[in-house]
Amino acid sequence: MSLRGTALGVGKGGARAAGGGHGAECRAPQAPSTKEVWIARHAKPLIELGICYGALDVAADVALTQAAASALAQALPEGVVVRVSPLKRCVQLAESLQVLRPELVFTLDERLREMDFGSWEGVPWADIPKEAVDAWTADFAHHRFGGKESANEVLARVGSAWDDVQGTSTLWIAHSGVAQSAVLLQQGTRRIEHAKDWPVSSLKYGAWVAF
C-alpha cells in the first residue's frame, strides 16, 4: 500500500532478509531448514507514475517479471507451498517461476490481493481531493479510502491467510500491502489504531522477504 520503493528490511517483525535478483542462471533448490513464510512482490507494473492503484488489475513488465522469477527460483527451498494473489501482475510471476521450477504449482488466494482503493482506483493522486486523503490519514485504521477497504480490514484478511500457513514452508506472491501486513502479524498485531502503526518501508518490485 505504500508508494515508497524502499526494501522491507529486517526489523521488529522478524523478517529475516529481503532479496531480489537480475536473472542469474537457476541453481538447484535448497532443502528447507525451517518452516518459513516467504513473500515475493510482483515486478514493476505497467502503469503511469502517480496513478492510484491497488486492486486495479494491471500487468507487470515481462522482462522484469522473468528476472525476478529467475532469482526467486534459485533462492526458494524445496517443498514450498505457493499461494498467489489473483491479480495478473502476481500471476505473471507465479507462471514464470513455475517454468523454472515446475514443481511449484500455485493456488490463487483472494486474501492476498492488494488493498482496494475503490472509486480512486486508476485516478491520478494529483486529482484526488485533498479532503479525501486527509480523511484517510486522519483515521487510517478504519477509514475506507475510496469506499472499499480499511487498513484493518486488509490486515484481517491477510491475517486469515497467515493463520492458515503457520507451520508450513509457504511462498506468497503478492503485494506491498500484504508484506506490510505480514510484518504486523509476525509481531502479533492484529489491529492498528493510527497511521503511524503501519510499517513505513515497503518491499521493492520483484524482491522477497522471509519470515
pLDDT averaged over 10-residue windows placed end to end, the chain, 211 residues: 36 49 38 74 97 98 98 95 98 98 98 98 98 95 97 98 94 97 96 94 93 92
Res 201: pLDDT: 82
* Torsion-angle region of 206 (φ positive above 0: left; ψ -120 to 50: alpha; else: beta): left
Quick one: which of 169, 197, 67, 175 has its CA closest to 113? 175
Please tell me the predicted confidence (pLDDT) of residue 157: 98
How far from the centroid of its chain's Cα atoms is residue 181's Cα? 9
Tell me the three cell numbers of residue 201.
Answer: 518501508
- DSSP code of residue 77: B
Q: What is the pTM of this model?
A: 0.86
- Contacts of residue 176, Cβ cutoff 8 Å, sequence gap at least 6: 1, 2, 41, 114, 202, 203
The pLDDT score that the predictor gives to residue 54 is 97
CA distance 208 to 117: 24
DSSP 3-state assignment of 158?
helix
**SS3 state of residue 187:** coil
DSSP 17: E
Give the pLDDT of residue 11.
39
Q: Quote the pLDDT of residue 164.
A: 95
Whole-angstrom Cα distance, residue 187 to residue 35? 17
Per-domain residue ranges of the chain: 38-210
Predicted pLDDT at 187: 95
* The CATH classification of domain 38-210, taken from the options 3.40.50.1240, 3.40.1190.20, 3.20.110.20, 3.30.465.10: 3.40.50.1240
Give 134: exposed, middle or buried? Use CB within 10 Å, 0-12, 13-18, 19+: exposed
Amino acid at 153: E
Q: Can you give the pLDDT at residue 34? A: 55
pLDDT at 35: 74
- Shortest CA distance to 64 belongs to which of 210, 196, 192, 207? 207
Q: Which of 145, 139, 137, 131 is nearest to 52 (CA)?
A: 145
